[in-house]
Structure 1
């Protein structure tokens, strides 16, 4: 069963994050240029200066946010931001998309063309004060998430309809070529954002299908949860007991959006999530 968690419709909802110290979810409306939350005091939002898509947490009052020009510290108390690292700042035709902190305290972020031009983007990692490009020639980067032990990452390029997995060394760097984890081409499914739960299973939002699917560590399909919005974008597991899931969605590109398109939903995953790692600066 699903329920509406937040009824503010996002043109392109993305990047949900559970902040453990504040005990609240944050997410973005990329094209609406805003960050949203629904905390103890009800719904709040912050305007974003640029297209902004993902975040990690640094401390109680500070996030690391990913924008079309790079990574910034964002002060939740004042709304001020400070630059951390430039990423494709010299390429106005691209923007950030899916991103997540890794268990070693790094931050992975994907970029893409603003009109989803083929292979115009890449996936980067910020770690110990430096940015390194990990995977080039990406069209729509998605499904960035990590196994519980931090020794495996998952990534996707949505139009290619596959989720890949790649082994990581002790510092969180890829140490082997990616391999296919789930191939969705036969079912014409489009992998969007993803998160891994405490059992090592991957939950993937599937754009255009109105569903979130759970895949076991061997890649087999375990179960599917329906989402009222056709274009669900990314799940996130949080809550005081890490047993609540929210899923963002989008009305982007729909000629006649339904009332639920773009809303953020609450689902019961029937499992617990992983603590969100703190980003190391």
Structure 2
């Protein structure tokens, strides 16, 4: 399988893809940008939010929600104006928000990364009433997060741990319990990064420093597929397209490494189907 280029934008560090409606949203962390790509027309809309942005999700009532250096924000797409919601870590200047997604009930879960590589970061939940709750920690680099079809299991990655964790999940209350490791990737020299899930509850995980996306089945504890890329920093993936069978993959540029295709957005059809994303309900 050969992934194809799809975007014009070249990211310094692309991350956080999510399909909603007829377009793909993702971020370019280091250049402060949120990108919306409509593959059917090729249209790209780009907003500069003025700070590093780790994640973006659609808002059910319109507009976007994102999280970055200084907490959570709403974004008005027509004006480009961002409105602060909350910052749970104003006393931690070495931290910024990283990856995040909405759970099936419309809450936004997003975690922080400590840029000094200390275990000073945490995973938070932005509830639909705009209350922020710390859910898990300490971690060092909060990353991929996703829920299964039954909405009773949450999967989560703290990248430096090289472990994919699972929690029992209560969709009514947002409670997480029974933490466990479903895949320990310590033997791999690369590290698990962004993650999505398909209609068969298989995890699709991008490996930073690994030039690959791996499909892992938690039910069988087996790797079922690997997709290779022409650039080492594969960062995150998401299913999209009209039938949710297109897998979009973001990438980043590795310093001091000349890779012509690094930072580009790729797409392929690996024979799996994704599930609809959830928008923020607040």
TM-score range, shorter chain: over 0.9
1:227 aligns to what? 229
The answer to whether the aligner puts 1:171 opposite 2:172 as a matched pair is yes
Quote the Cα distance in structure 1 between the aligned partners of 2:102 and 2:57: 6
1:18 aligns to what? 19
The answer to whether the aligner puts 1:251 opposite 2:266 as a matched pair is no
Unpaired runs of at least 5, structure 1: none
CA contact (8 A) 2:60 2:281 kept: no
Cα displacement string for residues 240-277 of structure 1 (whole angstroms, at most 9, x for unaligned residues): 1111111001114x202311111111121211111111
1:28 aligns to what? 27
2:47 aligns to what? 46
The answer to whether the aligner puts 1:122 opposite 2:109 as a matched pair is no
SS at match of 1:83: strand
Displacement of 1:175 in angstroms is 3.8
RMSD after superposition: 1.6
CA contact (8 A) 1:102 1:172 kept: no
Quote the Cα distance in structure 2 between the aligned partners of 1:211 and 1:126: 31
CA contact (8 A) 1:106 1:127 kept: yes
Cα displacement string for residues 139-181 of structure 1 (whole angstroms, at most 9, x for unaligned residues): 1111211111211111111111111010111325234231001
SS at match of 1:11: coil
2:64 aligns to what? 63
SS at match of 2:30: coil
CA contact (8 A) 1:166 1:174 kept: no
Q: Give TM-score, length-normalised by structure 2.
A: 0.93
1:209 aligns to what? 210
CA contact (8 A) 2:49 2:82 kept: no
The answer to whether the aligner puts 1:194 opposite 2:195 as a matched pair is yes
CA contact (8 A) 2:104 2:171 kept: no
Q: Aligned pair count? A: 277
CA contact (8 A) 1:55 1:66 kept: yes
Quote the Cα distance in structure 2 between the aligned partners of 1:53 and 1:230: 20
Quote the Cα distance in structure 1 between the aligned partners of 2:175 and 2:168: 6
1:93 aligns to what? 94
Unpaired runs of at least 5, structure 2: none
CA contact (8 A) 2:61 2:281 kept: no
Q: Mapping of 1:102-113 within 5 angstroms?
A: 102-113=103-114
Aligned structure 1 segments of 4 or more residues deviating by more than 3 angstroms: none
Q: Give TM-score, length-normalised by structure 1.
A: 0.93
Displacement of 1:57 in angstroms is 1.1
CA contact (8 A) 1:229 1:263 kept: no
